Structure 1
């Protein structure tokens, strides 16, 4: 378990946020660098991440709902420029809703119908949704990424056009 002096900030290295009501904290955060615990609710952590990037949780959700008509289990675009997107495994109002950041998923398998995600760093997480829901949420989040973000290859290699002029 990683111990942090400063409050955790959702970033490109965040892999999952799950509620964990224990003496360690209210939320358990799977990060590329380790596992962290915070004494805030998952929605508060996600709202802080959105606010740090110029919007709010509600504003980001409304944008996705308005553009893509995803009204239930709406994926959240925390920051399209940094390509930070996440999706809920259940309704966000459920106390046991997990938030998964799909960019870190390496493999999906299942045990007796329960999906298990293996992240790129080797961590595994058993989910509380069906395989169907998991695949649908990954697809919806990919649609959000495509709709709201520029493809990384275009961002990196795009050269602005030079003005035409006499040489």
Structure 2
């Protein structure tokens, strides 16, 4: 089976996880629809490639998600805001066995002891090393991120995010035509 050189995350992508190829290189195993294939890029590289292609980057998407959700770790990220694609990690994204799920393709979750059975949109199921409540919380956070980001993008509420500097810290143009940079020393 051949590896794909590149891949951009698309709506039909169900999940992606790290898998080492026959040379020991970390690649991305992608499940899209009823097919699965290996991409010659690590999962985080696939995410960054997708974001960079549309003018964003993984660092910005991660930082933005943390701010919107007020979380510090294992945040979902919006991989394509134009298509509304949001993915969430099952564990630290730095771990090779982290699985990135698209919540739109999760049909049902069921507890199986300390694990979770995940029913996917393509008719397949997976057993995940995560308690049901923790896994469902990740799904909910991903849905919350896409909802809040879309809402904020369509109707920005600038009153909740202050950008205006205080009046006493403004540089103004004086009658002489020069800006009052000398006030900087007075702060």
1:31 alignment counterpart? 32
User: Where does the alignment leave 5 or more consecutive residues of structure 2 unmatched?
Assistant: 155-187
Please say if residues 84 and 101 of structure 1, whose CA atoms lie closer than 8 Å, have aligned partners that are also in contact: yes
Please say if residues 62 and 77 of structure 2, whose CA atoms lie closer than 8 Å, have aligned partners that are also in contact: yes
1:149 counterpart SS class: helix
Per-residue CA deviation, residues 66-125 of structure 1 (Å, 9 max, x unaligned), is: 222121111110122211000011111222211111001111123333112111111222
Bigger Rg, structure 1 or 2: 2
Return 16-25 or 50-59, whichever deviates more: 16-25
Change (3 A) 1:57 1:115: same
Change (3 A) 1:17 1:116: same
1:160 alignment counterpart? none
Tell me how many residue pairs correspond in the alignment: 150
2:89 aligned with 1:125: no
> How far is the alpha carbon of 1:5 from its aligned partner?
5.6
- Distance in 2, matches of 1:106 and 1:90, equals 20
- Distance in 2, matches of 1:128 and 1:77, equals 24
Please say if residues 3 and 40 of structure 2, whose CA atoms lie closer than 8 Å, have aligned partners that are also in contact: no
2:147 alignment counterpart? 146
CA RMSD of aligned residues (A): 2.2
Matches for 1:1-167 after TM superposition, within 5 Å: 7-23=6-22, 26-149=27-150
Per-residue CA deviation, residues 19-65 of structure 1 (Å, 9 max, x unaligned), is: 12243972211111410111221100111111112100111111111
Please say if residues 16 and 30 of structure 1, whose CA atoms lie closer than 8 Å, have aligned partners that are also in contact: yes
2:182 alignment counterpart? none
User: Where does the alignment leave 5 or more consecutive residues of structure 1 unmatched?
Assistant: 155-167
User: TM-score under structure 2 normalisation?
Assistant: 0.72
- Distance in 2, matches of 1:20 and 1:110, equals 26
Please say if residues 14 and 29 of structure 1, whose CA atoms lie closer than 8 Å, have aligned partners that are also in contact: yes
- Distance in 1, matches of 2:4 and 2:91, equals 31
Over 3 Å off, 4+ runs: 3-6
